[in-house]
Chain A
Amino acid sequence: MEFTEDQIMRYSRHILLPEVGGEGQEKILQAKVVLVGAGGLGSPVGYYLAAAGVGTIGVIDNDRVEMSNLQRQIAHNTGRIGVLKADSAKETFETLNHDVKVVTHKERLTSGNIMDIIRDYDIVVDGSDNFPTRYLVNDACVMLKKTLVSAAVFRFEGQVMTIVPGEGPCYRCLFEIPPPPGMVPSCQEAGILGVVTGVIGTIQATEVIKMILGIGTPLKGKLLLWNALDMSFRTVKVPRNRECPVCGENPTITELIDYEQFCSMSH
């Protein structure tokens, strides 16, 4: 492809990098990435992917912007309270970069719709705030062999893992089943320092761009843990579980499961 004058300037700092160049930027422009959730994590992920020029960004979210979101969900703003988050995020990302097309999916993910929604994307980014969705996304990505950049945040901490089905462990290799509802902190207990979602979401965006470019080493088989108070990063090796119910040798989960929703963590 030939870059336009605007594109040469917009992406010049990428093109200058030996590992990216014009060829790498072209890959970014052709990439299709879908975000599960346009909240605390989805906002920075989408923002940086839009800035980088990811050509197609899907946004799956059926919630509306609330005042209490704005302490961390930087894709939205005060004037958009009451607007669907998917529409608000589309406006933000497309305004930043007209090379980006944002496709909105204004529905809650279920076993019935997830396959059709994520099928056409290259990479899935999980920024969901609840266990039923997290497991549903993991299982669907394993079944469709889609790369998944999974993350979660809680209070002052966050974790990220990149799942490449067939090559490394999946989320169930790490945590086989969702915790029982009683084990999960209630809404009142689950605060989150806003900036934590920014750090973790930006790490997810970094993983996505590395995967698109085929450079560096992804967090495949490695769980990155970050603590804001200690300002400590730790990487824990995660082996594949041969008995994993979804990606193991004899999977017992062959159909998607809709776990019951319960009070979720980061509301």
Chain B
Amino acid sequence: MKNVDPKSAMGVSVGDVIKVDRTLDIKGQVCPYTFVRSKLAIEKINIGEVLEIVVDHEPASINVPKSMENEGQKVLKIEKTGEKEWHIFVRKDKEKKK
């Protein structure tokens, strides 16, 4: 478990400290595999748990959160932590579409 201080966040801030249940480091990956891998990871966690996704491919910092929202998940925060590094925090709100 890893806690993130929202005060240091450069992206969208949520008032509370985010408890991360799983971290997926996919630096080096490009679209669409960034989302494919993020999706496979979020399928493995339970509703209400949080997935932290680390990417270094700029389009993914926009597209992965967008696609997660499209699939009914909650993007809690997008944090830019370096020139080419983003941490995306997603809470699983929904199981697969039937």
Contact = CB atoms under 8 A, between A and B. Distances in A.
Interface of A: 3, 8-9, 12, 15-16, 18-19, 21-24, 214-215
Given A214-B98, A215-B98, A22 B35 contact: no
Given A8-B36, A19-B97, A21-B96, 10 more contacts: A9-B33, A12-B36, A15-B40, A18-B70, A19-B96, A21-B39, A21-B40, A21-B43, A22-B40, A215-B98
Given A8-B33, A9-B33, A15 B98 contact: no
Given A19-B97, A214-B98, A215-B98, A8 B37 contact: yes
Nearest to A12: B36
A18 B71 contact: yes
Contacts of B36: 8, 12, 15-16
Nearest to B43: A22
B5 to A, nearest CB: 32
B32 interface: yes
B47 to A, nearest CB: 14
Contact of B39 (A15, A19, A214): A15
Residue of A8, A15, A19, A214 most packed against chain B (CB within 10 A)? A15
Contacts of B96: 18-19, 21, 23-24
Interface size class of B (residues with CB under 8 A): 10 to 19
Contacts of B70: 18
Nearest to A19: B97
B51 to A, nearest CB: 14
A8 B40 CA distance: 9
Nearest to B41: A22
Interface of B: 32-33, 35-37, 39-40, 43, 70-71, 96-98
A184 B70 CA distance: 53
A23 B37 CA distance: 13
B8 to A, nearest CB: 32
Contact of A16 (B35, B43, B97, B98): B35
B32 A3 contact: no
Contacts of B43: 21-23
B40 A18 contact: no
B63 to A, nearest CB: 11
A12 B33 contact: yes
B46 to A, nearest CB: 14
A12 B32 contact: yes
A8 B97 CA distance: 20
Contacts of A214: 98
B42 to A, nearest CB: 9
A25 to B, nearest CB: 9
A110 to B, nearest CB: 40
Contacts of A12: 32-33, 36
A158 B76 CA distance: 51
A19 B97 CA distance: 5
Contacts of A24: 96
B22 to A, nearest CB: 14
Nearest to A214: B98
